[in-house]
Structure 1
Amino acid sequence: MREFARVQDQALSLDSFDPIQDFPECGGVDVFIGTVRNHHEGKAVKALKYTSYTPVAEKMIREIEQDVKAKYSEVSYVRVIHRIGYLDVSETAIIAIAYAAHRREAFQACEEAVERVKHEVPIWKEEFFMDGTSQYVEGCCIRKDATEQTSSSLAKEEKSAKHAHHHHEHCAHTHD
Protein backbone atom coordinates (compact mmCIF):
# COMPACT_ATOMS: atom_id res chain seq x y z
CA MET A 1 0.00 0.00 0.00
CA ARG A 2 1.30 3.42 -0.93
CA GLU A 3 1.72 5.83 1.94
CA PHE A 4 1.02 9.53 1.41
CA ALA A 5 -0.24 12.59 3.25
CA ARG A 6 -3.99 13.15 3.02
CA VAL A 7 -3.45 16.92 3.35
CA GLN A 8 -0.92 18.23 0.85
CA ASP A 9 0.46 21.66 0.02
CA GLN A 10 1.46 20.82 -3.55
CA ALA A 11 -0.46 19.87 -6.69
CA LEU A 12 -2.57 16.74 -6.21
CA SER A 13 -2.14 13.72 -8.46
CA LEU A 14 -3.89 10.43 -9.12
CA ASP A 15 -0.40 8.89 -8.96
CA SER A 16 -0.65 9.02 -5.14
CA PHE A 17 -3.18 6.18 -5.12
CA ASP A 18 -2.63 2.44 -5.32
CA PRO A 19 -3.33 1.20 -8.87
CA ILE A 20 -6.53 -0.69 -9.65
CA GLN A 21 -4.34 -3.61 -10.79
CA ASP A 22 -3.63 -4.28 -7.10
CA PHE A 23 -7.35 -5.02 -6.59
CA PRO A 24 -8.35 -7.68 -9.15
CA GLU A 25 -11.64 -8.30 -7.29
CA CYS A 26 -12.75 -4.76 -8.19
CA GLY A 27 -14.61 -3.98 -11.40
CA GLY A 28 -15.56 -0.38 -10.61
CA VAL A 29 -13.49 2.73 -10.05
CA ASP A 30 -15.07 6.02 -9.04
CA VAL A 31 -12.98 9.17 -8.94
CA PHE A 32 -14.14 12.60 -7.82
CA ILE A 33 -11.94 15.60 -8.57
CA GLY A 34 -12.94 18.94 -7.09
CA THR A 35 -11.51 22.02 -8.77
CA VAL A 36 -11.67 25.75 -8.10
CA ARG A 37 -14.44 27.42 -10.09
CA ASN A 38 -14.43 31.05 -11.18
CA HIS A 39 -17.55 32.17 -9.31
CA HIS A 40 -19.44 31.88 -6.05
CA GLU A 41 -22.97 33.21 -5.51
CA GLY A 42 -22.65 35.58 -8.45
CA LYS A 43 -19.23 36.98 -7.58
CA ALA A 44 -16.13 36.43 -9.72
CA VAL A 45 -13.56 34.35 -7.86
CA LYS A 46 -9.86 35.10 -8.37
CA ALA A 47 -8.35 32.42 -6.12
CA LEU A 48 -8.92 30.34 -2.99
CA LYS A 49 -6.90 29.62 0.09
CA TYR A 50 -7.40 26.41 2.05
CA THR A 51 -6.03 26.18 5.57
CA SER A 52 -6.23 23.22 7.90
CA TYR A 53 -5.53 21.98 11.38
CA THR A 54 -3.34 19.40 9.69
CA PRO A 55 -2.65 16.82 12.44
CA VAL A 56 -6.37 16.43 13.13
CA ALA A 57 -7.33 16.66 9.45
CA GLU A 58 -4.90 13.84 8.58
CA LYS A 59 -6.27 11.62 11.33
CA MET A 60 -9.91 12.34 10.49
CA ILE A 61 -9.53 11.72 6.74
CA ARG A 62 -7.93 8.34 7.46
CA GLU A 63 -10.76 7.48 9.88
CA ILE A 64 -13.38 8.48 7.30
CA GLU A 65 -11.67 6.26 4.70
CA GLN A 66 -11.76 3.31 7.12
CA ASP A 67 -15.40 3.99 8.11
CA VAL A 68 -16.58 4.15 4.50
CA LYS A 69 -14.65 1.02 3.49
CA ALA A 70 -16.13 -0.86 6.47
CA LYS A 71 -19.66 0.28 5.60
CA TYR A 72 -19.62 -1.09 2.05
CA SER A 73 -18.72 -4.78 1.88
CA GLU A 74 -17.77 -4.67 -1.80
CA VAL A 75 -15.39 -1.70 -1.42
CA SER A 76 -11.71 -2.62 -1.26
CA TYR A 77 -10.10 0.85 -1.36
CA VAL A 78 -11.12 4.40 -0.41
CA ARG A 79 -8.69 7.32 -0.31
CA VAL A 80 -9.03 11.11 -0.18
CA ILE A 81 -6.40 13.81 -0.60
CA HIS A 82 -7.03 17.52 -0.02
CA ARG A 83 -4.92 20.49 -1.04
CA ILE A 84 -4.08 23.38 1.24
CA GLY A 85 -2.57 26.76 0.39
CA TYR A 86 -3.43 29.17 -2.43
CA LEU A 87 -5.18 27.72 -5.48
CA ASP A 88 -6.00 29.46 -8.73
CA VAL A 89 -9.15 28.83 -10.77
CA SER A 90 -9.15 25.31 -12.28
CA GLU A 91 -6.58 23.93 -9.82
CA THR A 92 -7.50 20.70 -8.03
CA ALA A 93 -8.62 21.04 -4.40
CA ILE A 94 -9.64 17.45 -3.61
CA ILE A 95 -9.42 13.98 -5.12
CA ALA A 96 -11.38 11.02 -3.77
CA ILE A 97 -11.23 7.50 -5.16
CA ALA A 98 -13.05 4.25 -4.45
CA TYR A 99 -12.53 0.76 -5.88
CA ALA A 100 -15.36 -1.76 -5.55
CA ALA A 101 -16.57 -4.99 -7.09
CA HIS A 102 -19.46 -3.12 -8.75
CA ARG A 103 -20.16 0.48 -9.73
CA ARG A 104 -23.00 1.24 -7.28
CA GLU A 105 -20.87 0.80 -4.18
CA ALA A 106 -17.92 2.58 -5.83
CA PHE A 107 -20.20 5.58 -6.51
CA GLN A 108 -21.69 5.53 -3.01
CA ALA A 109 -18.39 5.15 -1.19
CA CYS A 110 -16.69 7.91 -3.16
CA GLU A 111 -19.57 10.35 -2.63
CA GLU A 112 -19.83 9.59 1.07
CA ALA A 113 -16.08 10.06 1.56
CA VAL A 114 -16.17 13.45 -0.20
CA GLU A 115 -19.20 14.70 1.74
CA ARG A 116 -17.79 13.62 5.09
CA VAL A 117 -14.38 15.16 4.45
CA LYS A 118 -16.00 18.35 3.23
CA HIS A 119 -18.26 18.76 6.26
CA GLU A 120 -16.34 17.16 9.14
CA VAL A 121 -12.63 17.72 8.64
CA PRO A 122 -10.98 20.94 9.90
CA ILE A 123 -10.10 22.42 6.51
CA TRP A 124 -11.29 25.98 5.85
CA LYS A 125 -11.84 27.71 2.53
CA GLU A 126 -11.29 31.42 1.99
CA GLU A 127 -12.35 32.89 -1.34
CA PHE A 128 -10.67 35.91 -2.91
CA PHE A 129 -12.86 37.83 -5.35
CA MET A 130 -11.96 39.92 -8.39
CA ASP A 131 -13.35 43.02 -6.64
CA GLY A 132 -10.67 42.75 -3.95
CA THR A 133 -12.93 41.35 -1.21
CA SER A 134 -12.62 37.95 0.44
CA GLN A 135 -14.69 35.69 2.67
CA TYR A 136 -14.54 32.37 4.46
CA VAL A 137 -17.05 29.88 3.09
CA GLU A 138 -19.53 28.27 5.46
CA GLY A 139 -19.85 24.53 5.49
CA CYS A 140 -16.71 23.05 7.01
CA CYS A 141 -16.86 20.88 10.07
CA ILE A 142 -20.64 20.55 10.10
CA ARG A 143 -21.89 17.15 11.14
CA LYS A 144 -25.20 15.58 10.13
CA ASP A 145 -26.65 16.15 13.61
CA ALA A 146 -26.23 19.91 13.19
CA THR A 147 -29.08 22.37 13.71
CA GLU A 148 -31.82 23.10 11.20
CA GLN A 149 -30.28 26.49 10.48
CA THR A 150 -26.99 24.82 9.60
CA SER A 151 -28.80 22.37 7.34
CA SER A 152 -30.35 25.21 5.34
CA SER A 153 -26.94 26.84 4.82
CA LEU A 154 -25.59 23.45 3.72
CA ALA A 155 -28.41 23.07 1.21
CA LYS A 156 -27.66 26.52 -0.18
CA GLU A 157 -23.98 25.64 -0.45
CA GLU A 158 -24.69 22.33 -2.17
CA LYS A 159 -26.95 24.09 -4.68
CA SER A 160 -24.09 26.37 -5.65
CA ALA A 161 -21.73 23.46 -6.32
CA LYS A 162 -20.97 22.26 -9.84
CA HIS A 163 -20.33 18.52 -10.20
CA ALA A 164 -18.64 16.54 -12.94
CA HIS A 165 -17.91 12.84 -12.43
CA HIS A 166 -15.59 10.57 -14.37
CA HIS A 167 -16.32 6.89 -13.79
CA HIS A 168 -14.70 3.52 -14.36
CA GLU A 169 -12.57 3.28 -17.52
CA HIS A 170 -11.43 6.86 -17.34
CA CYS A 171 -10.44 7.29 -14.19
CA ALA A 172 -13.72 16.97 -11.67
CA HIS A 173 -16.05 19.64 -9.94
CA THR A 174 -16.11 22.40 -7.65
CA HIS A 175 -15.34 21.99 -4.04
CA ASP A 176 -16.96 24.12 -1.36
Structure 2
Amino acid sequence: MSNQYNFHTKTIAKLGYSDSLREKYMKFYRDRSSLFLPFLRGSVLTYVGVDNIITGPFRQLMIKYFRLGDFGSNAREEYLYYLLLFFGLLQLLITLQSAFQPVIEIIDTKVILRTKEKTLSVIKNTFDIINLEVVEDNFLQFSFQNGEVYNVQVDDVSIKEVQKEFTSFNFYEEE
Protein backbone atom coordinates (compact mmCIF):
# COMPACT_ATOMS: atom_id res chain seq x y z
CA MET A 1 0.00 0.00 0.00
CA SER A 2 1.35 3.40 -0.93
CA ASN A 3 0.90 6.89 0.41
CA GLN A 4 0.64 8.40 -3.08
CA TYR A 5 -2.53 10.29 -3.86
CA ASN A 6 -3.47 11.11 -7.41
CA PHE A 7 -4.93 14.61 -7.33
CA HIS A 8 -4.59 15.15 -11.07
CA THR A 9 -7.37 12.67 -11.84
CA LYS A 10 -9.63 14.21 -9.19
CA THR A 11 -9.39 11.23 -6.81
CA ILE A 12 -7.91 12.22 -3.49
CA ALA A 13 -7.84 8.86 -1.81
CA LYS A 14 -9.64 5.66 -1.17
CA LEU A 15 -9.27 5.62 2.51
CA GLY A 16 -8.48 2.96 5.04
CA TYR A 17 -7.58 3.52 8.64
CA SER A 18 -4.23 3.22 10.37
CA ASP A 19 -3.55 3.97 14.01
CA SER A 20 0.23 4.32 13.80
CA LEU A 21 0.69 8.02 12.95
CA ARG A 22 -2.56 9.36 14.37
CA GLU A 23 -2.76 13.08 15.10
CA LYS A 24 -5.30 14.52 17.50
CA TYR A 25 -6.71 17.45 15.50
CA MET A 26 -7.02 18.53 11.91
CA LYS A 27 -9.08 21.54 10.80
CA PHE A 28 -9.61 23.18 7.42
CA TYR A 29 -10.91 26.75 7.33
CA ARG A 30 -12.11 28.88 4.46
CA ASP A 31 -9.64 31.41 3.16
CA ARG A 32 -10.51 34.52 5.15
CA SER A 33 -9.62 36.89 2.32
CA SER A 34 -12.45 35.38 0.25
CA LEU A 35 -14.94 36.30 3.00
CA PHE A 36 -14.28 40.04 2.62
CA LEU A 37 -16.81 40.61 -0.18
CA PRO A 38 -19.74 38.87 1.61
CA PHE A 39 -18.84 40.79 4.78
CA LEU A 40 -18.85 44.05 2.81
CA ARG A 41 -22.24 43.22 1.24
CA GLY A 42 -23.74 42.44 4.63
CA SER A 43 -22.32 45.65 6.09
CA VAL A 44 -23.75 47.78 3.27
CA LEU A 45 -27.20 46.19 3.49
CA THR A 46 -27.24 46.60 7.27
CA TYR A 47 -26.10 50.22 7.00
CA VAL A 48 -28.76 51.09 4.42
CA GLY A 49 -31.48 49.46 6.53
CA VAL A 50 -30.46 51.11 9.80
CA ASP A 51 -29.73 54.48 8.19
CA ASN A 52 -33.17 54.68 6.59
CA ILE A 53 -34.93 53.56 9.76
CA ILE A 54 -33.24 56.24 11.91
CA THR A 55 -33.20 58.90 9.12
CA GLY A 56 -29.43 59.07 8.85
CA PRO A 57 -27.20 60.82 6.30
CA PHE A 58 -27.89 58.36 3.46
CA ARG A 59 -31.64 58.87 3.82
CA GLN A 60 -31.14 62.65 3.88
CA LEU A 61 -29.21 62.35 0.61
CA MET A 62 -31.97 60.22 -0.91
CA ILE A 63 -34.63 62.75 0.17
CA LYS A 64 -32.86 65.38 -1.99
CA TYR A 65 -33.22 63.25 -5.15
CA PHE A 66 -36.42 61.26 -4.50
CA ARG A 67 -39.82 62.13 -3.11
CA LEU A 68 -39.59 60.40 0.26
CA GLY A 69 -41.72 61.19 3.26
CA ASP A 70 -40.94 60.37 6.85
CA PHE A 71 -39.99 56.80 7.60
CA GLY A 72 -43.15 54.82 8.33
CA SER A 73 -45.41 56.93 6.13
CA ASN A 74 -45.25 54.29 3.39
CA ALA A 75 -45.68 50.66 4.50
CA ARG A 76 -43.94 49.19 1.43
CA GLU A 77 -40.90 51.37 1.98
CA GLU A 78 -40.82 50.43 5.65
CA TYR A 79 -40.98 46.70 4.85
CA LEU A 80 -38.25 47.14 2.24
CA TYR A 81 -35.81 48.63 4.74
CA TYR A 82 -36.61 46.07 7.41
CA LEU A 83 -36.03 43.36 4.80
CA LEU A 84 -32.69 44.95 3.82
CA LEU A 85 -31.71 45.08 7.49
CA PHE A 86 -32.67 41.41 7.96
CA PHE A 87 -30.70 40.25 4.90
CA GLY A 88 -27.70 42.36 5.89
CA LEU A 89 -27.62 40.94 9.42
CA LEU A 90 -28.09 37.41 8.07
CA GLN A 91 -25.18 37.89 5.62
CA LEU A 92 -22.97 39.21 8.43
CA LEU A 93 -23.88 36.29 10.68
CA ILE A 94 -23.16 33.68 8.00
CA THR A 95 -19.87 35.36 7.06
CA LEU A 96 -18.65 35.55 10.65
CA GLN A 97 -19.68 31.95 11.25
CA SER A 98 -17.77 30.86 8.13
CA ALA A 99 -14.68 32.71 9.31
CA PHE A 100 -14.49 30.95 12.66
CA GLN A 101 -16.03 27.52 12.06
CA PRO A 102 -13.94 24.94 10.16
CA VAL A 103 -15.27 23.38 6.95
CA ILE A 104 -13.70 20.00 7.76
CA GLU A 105 -12.58 18.98 11.23
CA ILE A 106 -11.15 15.65 12.35
CA ILE A 107 -10.84 15.02 16.07
CA ASP A 108 -9.58 11.62 17.21
CA THR A 109 -11.85 9.16 15.38
CA LYS A 110 -14.60 11.60 14.33
CA VAL A 111 -14.89 13.67 11.17
CA ILE A 112 -17.10 16.77 11.30
CA LEU A 113 -18.29 18.19 7.97
CA ARG A 114 -20.18 21.37 7.10
CA THR A 115 -22.29 20.51 4.08
CA LYS A 116 -25.07 22.08 2.05
CA GLU A 117 -27.16 18.90 2.36
CA LYS A 118 -27.55 19.20 6.14
CA THR A 119 -28.36 22.25 8.24
CA LEU A 120 -26.22 21.12 11.15
CA SER A 121 -22.70 19.71 10.93
CA VAL A 122 -22.41 16.03 10.00
CA ILE A 123 -20.44 13.92 12.51
CA LYS A 124 -19.18 10.50 11.39
CA ASN A 125 -16.45 8.03 12.36
CA THR A 126 -13.24 8.14 10.35
CA PHE A 127 -13.36 4.33 10.27
CA ASP A 128 -16.44 4.59 8.03
CA ILE A 129 -14.80 6.69 5.28
CA ILE A 130 -14.29 4.54 2.20
CA ASN A 131 -13.62 7.14 -0.51
CA LEU A 132 -12.63 10.78 -0.77
CA GLU A 133 -12.49 12.61 -4.08
CA VAL A 134 -12.76 16.03 -5.69
CA VAL A 135 -15.99 16.48 -7.65
CA GLU A 136 -16.67 19.38 -10.05
CA ASP A 137 -13.43 21.14 -9.01
CA ASN A 138 -14.99 22.69 -5.92
CA PHE A 139 -16.54 19.89 -3.86
CA LEU A 140 -14.79 17.29 -1.75
CA GLN A 141 -16.96 14.18 -1.70
CA PHE A 142 -16.83 11.93 1.38
CA SER A 143 -18.28 8.42 0.89
CA PHE A 144 -19.08 6.32 3.95
CA GLN A 145 -19.61 2.58 4.44
CA ASN A 146 -23.35 2.89 5.04
CA GLY A 147 -23.77 4.40 1.56
CA GLU A 148 -24.07 8.02 2.67
CA VAL A 149 -22.25 10.57 0.54
CA TYR A 150 -21.60 14.16 1.65
CA ASN A 151 -20.16 16.98 -0.45
CA VAL A 152 -18.13 19.70 1.24
CA GLN A 153 -17.55 22.90 -0.72
CA VAL A 154 -13.81 23.57 -0.86
CA ASP A 155 -13.63 26.61 -3.17
CA ASP A 156 -11.75 28.56 -0.54
CA VAL A 157 -9.66 25.67 0.83
CA SER A 158 -6.33 24.67 -0.68
CA ILE A 159 -6.46 21.15 -2.15
CA LYS A 160 -2.69 20.82 -1.64
CA GLU A 161 -3.21 21.57 2.05
CA VAL A 162 -5.91 18.89 2.23
CA GLN A 163 -3.60 16.41 0.47
CA LYS A 164 -0.71 17.17 2.84
CA GLU A 165 -2.83 16.83 5.96
CA PHE A 166 -4.54 13.61 4.88
CA THR A 167 -1.12 12.14 4.02
CA SER A 168 0.23 13.05 7.46
CA PHE A 169 -2.97 11.69 8.98
CA ASN A 170 -1.92 8.30 7.60
CA PHE A 171 -4.93 7.36 5.55
CA TYR A 172 -3.75 5.06 2.82
CA GLU A 173 -4.88 4.42 -0.71
CA GLU A 174 -6.37 1.03 -1.41
CA GLU A 175 -5.38 -0.73 -4.60
Instruction: Place the TM-score, normalised by the shorter chain, in its bin.
Output: under 0.3
Q: TM-score, normalised by structure 2?
A: 0.26
Q: TM-score, normalised by structure 1?
A: 0.26
Q: Which has the higher strand share?
A: 1
Q: Which has the higher helix share?
A: 2
Q: Which structure is richer in relative contact order (CA contacts within 8 A, separation 6 or more)?
A: 2
Q: Which has the larger radius of gyration?
A: 2
